[in-house]
Amino acid sequence: MLATLQCLLLLPLGVLASTPVPNAANLQLASVHAAVAPLASGEPLYTKFADTPVPIASITKVMTAMVVLDSGQSLDERLTVVKRSVKPPKNAYSRMRIGSDAKRSDLLRITLMSSENLAAYVLARNFPGGLDAFVAAMNTKARDLGMHHTRFVDPAGLWPENHSTAADLVRMVQAAHRYPLIREMSTTSQHDVHFRNPRYSLSYGNTNSLVRSPRWDVHLSKTGYLSEAGRCLVMVTEVEGEPLVMVLLDSLGSRTPLGDAGRIRRWLETGDGGAVARDALNYERSRTAERAASLNGTGNAIP
């Protein structure tokens, strides 16, 4: 019964360039929710529980970056690192020293590439009107993009109440890709930030190892993790010569979304998606069964 439901949800709905989409039954993913679509059209090639709102963790920071850039504030302005006004529900350790300062551009870059949570908070706090105005701007932007099943309550994704769907996130990634700085910053492999007051430097690496792989041409990237959200990844990458949006939500291990990305590419190139490791598959089946029990058969959660 579950397999039948999954097949109904995974019917291919588009084409990649002029080539017919392979049989969806040949693609098995470890992620519980997924959407794959050409960047240009956004018409899905593959979906899996793509209309179910779920926690999205640090995928949130893609919207944070758009709101920062939309504000027009100087990227050269130095911002002071301050403590959060409200303690987050999750561990939010940061190596940045309270009271030191760094350029807004550096804080934005490490927010995207290295998922620095305190940097995201500092960016939001320095928005005109402060943190509350920033979160309101995030939700306004989501509505403007047609992300009707999305809600933000913080700029970093530390609160599991930040919800979206895989389908909504395709829209968000399409919009973010139109920002050259988001493309460049989110795919930076490594970056050193030079702080002042006191003077010190910190080195940051990208949380998506595929940006460093010669086998991948990644145009935009963001990872995320909370226990409620599982491991998540949104990415724009070249497949068969065409930029493709991949949204992968809720999988078991840190490398599992990367494996799913590889399975998607293989599926589109050869028609065979390959296999999922046992532990990751067991996690997916358990979580998928939970989702299936809450669906009405159309991919939408039962009210």
Q: Percentage of the chain surpassing pLDDT 70?
A: 91
Q: Residue 131 has what pLDDT?
A: 97
User: Is there a catalytic annotation at residue 254?
Assistant: no
Q: Of 31, 58, 100, 251, which residue is the catalytic one?
A: 58
Note the pLDDT tens digit of each residue in 255-265.
Answer: 999 999 999 99
CATH number of 2-293: 3.40.710.10
Domain residue ranges in the chain: 2-293
Split at pLDDT 50, 70, 90, the class of 296 is low
Q: Indicate the residue type of 241.
A: G
User: Is there a catalytic annotation at residue 227?
Assistant: no
The mean pLDDT value for 98-118 works out to 98
The mean pLDDT value for 273-286 works out to 94
Note the pLDDT tens digit of each residue in 144-179.
Answer: 999 999 999 999 999 999 999 999 999 999 999 999
Calpha distance 180→220 (Å, rounded): 10
Buried b (16+ CB within 10 A) or exposed e, 237-266: bebeeebbbbbbbbbbeeebbbbbbebbbb
Q: Of 31, 100, 114, 115, which residue is the catalytic one?
A: 115
Residue 93 pLDDT exceeds 60 = yes
Within the chain, what is the greatest distance between any pair of CA atoms?
A: 61
User: Is there a catalytic annotation at residue 115?
Assistant: yes
Split at pLDDT 50, 70, 90, the class of 298 is very low
Calpha distance 27→133 (Å, rounded): 42
Q: Residue 302 has what pLDDT?
A: 28
Q: Of 31, 48, 61, 141, which residue is the catalytic one?
A: 61
**Contact between residue 109 and residue 61 where contact means Cβ atoms under 8 Å apart:** no
